[in-house]
Structure 1
Amino acid sequence: MSDSDRPLAWRLRSIVGEENVLVDEPMSEHTTFEVGGPADLFVTPEDIDEVREVVSAVRESGENYFLLGRGSDLLVSDAGFRGVIIALECLMGVSVDDDEMCCQAGIDLREASEMACELGLSGLEFACGIPGSVGGACYMNAGAYDGCMADVLKEVRVLTSAGDVCDLGVDELDLGYRHSRIADEGLVVLSATFALTRADGEKIRQKMDDLTHRREEKQPLDLPSAGSTFKRPEGHFAGKLITDAGLRGYQVGGAAVSKKHAGFVVNVGGATAADVHAVIEHVQAEVERQFGVRLEPEVRFLG
């Protein structure tokens, strides 16, 4: 489509500037799977006011839209996304008040963990290896190694569907396993405040180094993926079920079940979204056939 067919593009350019509205932008450039076709429009606001204006304009237009953090849990179809991708990578502000740290939504969660360590604040060690943004982590209540966002969040600042900005306390977020009110209601996370505790920086660093070593030892971090592909089924471990089903290394095109950790589907080279999707569907079908357990993807599908 040409720009003349996209009146919304002109309105968005008037808000964020011409250089911050891209047409037919390949999503393979913005996801950790490194696959995905073009988005009709890819918009990068530069501050919270622009985020509000962009979201309002897109909602008024009736176009589909998607809020993008780091693209670390996302599989975009080869056909791309018909609508507007709003990238929140601009929201990078951080402030600290005693043992509370407030991070805007675009901050990398691993960077937030590192900053907390440098400040002698404990609580975010579990997040030291989780790819993704603070906003995305709140959206899905991200977690690892017996820790999750629900354990450390005090409140989040969100943009509602009515265009209002409000603060929600952790007890208002309905946080569960890979679930939140944020996801249910389509709220836009602008920032998150973490309630941490003062601790010895060296001890915090030791714990983070240990978790990093464990992650590097067990996970296929050398290949593009979206992290753990499946949610943990009640009473089971996805990786063990997949291994026991004989699917470790199963491959379609350039996508495969990792030989290092069967809970990961990885891009071994030149994968398409269709390849990844085919592997996921085959794994689901085989595990259900052999063990009667339905694996639910942790990866989100777009397009």
Structure 2
Amino acid sequence: MSKTEPKLLKDTVIAPYAYTQAGGKADYLAIPKSLDELKDLLAWAEDRELPVHVFGRLSNLVVRSGGLRGLVIIMTELKAVQQEGELLTADAGCDIIWLSAIAQDKGLAGLEWAAGIPGSVGGAIFMNAGAYGGQTDMVAESVTALMPDLSLKTFTRDELAFAYRHSVFQDNGGIIVQVTFKLKKGNREKIQEKMDANNYARALKQPLSWPSNGSVFKRPEGYFAGKLIMDSGLQGTAVGGVMVSTKHAGFMVNVDHGTGNDYEDLIHLVQQSVYKNYQVRLEPEVRIIGDR
């Protein structure tokens, strides 16, 4: 048994914690403020044989309207950052946008691509996030994770099994708790210019004024998902409160109290239409989880 009774919220709606502002209830929800609290939560759930779901900013994720059984852990209070030369070490709950700003302030280059990415450091590792010519696997040096047996294990760069939107943590059940990035010394002004250029391009092309998960589909080989969706005449198509963006066809935006089920149903509608028109199967980049 865990010695400490963790702080828990019961029957809590997930939507306010999610970038999509959609998602049903969690049986239990907790936001640990330390590694010990995280361990207590995991021990508590194990004692009760409850499933555990661990998230950062809940970006790149669709939680269905029926919600999630068991315990949902949100890591956003674990966000400390330390510097040692060209190494920047951040807790998993740290916003990757914030970390890129810290890197710029310290004159460290390598995270400019992350300046506008919604999500946490842990999420960036988990999904091998990337944008504007940069990607997590280009700068991740090592990752410390809490394994299913509650032991801490540090993974070197070569052990992270990075691939397109994939890391070893999608397979091994480890909970990312800390990440070390290897960056390079650079000029603060030039780093900021690059970040500003990326964010300007993002603002021009992407529907940032609405809740969304960013790009919904992986890039199919030889094609661009957004163009296939646009050419299929799907921009503006909606299911419930979720719509294919009229600004960027690769995005789905929550325009009117959309639900997780609305997102999932619209994803399926787009997949069917694009396959009918172009015989290309679009694979979601976002994860879809929970009960209908």
Contact 2:264 2:288 survives alignment (8 Å): no
Query: Is 1:14 aligned with 2:4?
Result: yes
Structure 1 residues 289-298 or 198-207, which shifts more? 289-298
Contact 2:19 2:59 survives alignment (8 Å): yes
Residue type of the alignment partner of 1:158 = A
Distance apart, 1:14 and its partner CA? 3.4
Distance apart, 1:12 and its partner CA? 7.5
Query: Is 1:77 aligned with 2:64?
Result: yes
Residue 160 of structure 2 corresponds to 173
Distance apart, 1:186 and its partner CA? 1.6
Within 2, Cα distance between the matches of 1:239 and 1:72? Answer: 19
Q: Structure 1, unaligned stretches of length 5 or more? A: 1-10
Contact 2:161 2:167 survives alignment (8 Å): yes
Residue 210 of structure 1 corresponds to 197
Any idea what SS the aligned residue of 1:63 has?
coil
Q: Which gives a bigger RCO, structure 1 or 2 (Cα 8 Å, sep 6+)?
A: 2
Provide Cα deviations, 1:88-118, integer angstroms capped at 9, x if missing partner: 1121111000010000001000000000000
Residue 238 of structure 1 corresponds to 225
Query: Is 1:29 aligned with 2:19?
Result: no
Residue 136 of structure 1 corresponds to 123
Residue type of the alignment partner of 1:40 = D
Match of 1:227 among 206, 210, 214: 214
Any idea what SS the aligned residue of 2:218 has?
coil
Distance apart, 1:57 and its partner CA? 2.9
Match of 2:107 among 100, 117, 120: 120
Distance apart, 1:184 and its partner CA? 1.1
Any idea what SS the aligned residue of 1:203 has?
helix
Within 1, Cα distance between the matches of 2:42 and 2:168? Answer: 19
The TM-score with structure 1 as length reference comes to: 0.93
Map residues 1-303 of structure 1 onto 2, 5 A cutoff: 14-16=4-6, 20-303=7-290
Provide Cα deviations, 1:210-250, integer angstroms capped at 9, x if missing partner: 00000000000000111111111111111011011111111
- Change over 3 Å in CA distance of 1:12–1:74 after alignment to 2: farther
Distance apart, 1:272 and its partner CA? 1.7
Within 1, Cα distance between the matches of 2:3 and 2:224? Answer: 47
Q: Structure 2, unaligned stretches of length 5 or more? A: none
Across the two proteins, how many residue pairs are aligned to each other?
290
Compute the RMSD of aligned alpha carbons.
1.3
Residue type of the alignment partner of 2:199 = T
Within 2, Cα distance between the matches of 1:53 and 1:95? Answer: 25
Structure with the higher fraction of residues in helix conformation: 1
Contact 2:205 2:247 survives alignment (8 Å): yes
Structure 1 residues 148-157 or 62-71, which shifts more? 62-71
Structure 1 residues 21-30 or 45-54, which shifts more? 45-54
Contact 1:105 1:189 survives alignment (8 Å): yes
Contact 2:3 2:40 survives alignment (8 Å): no
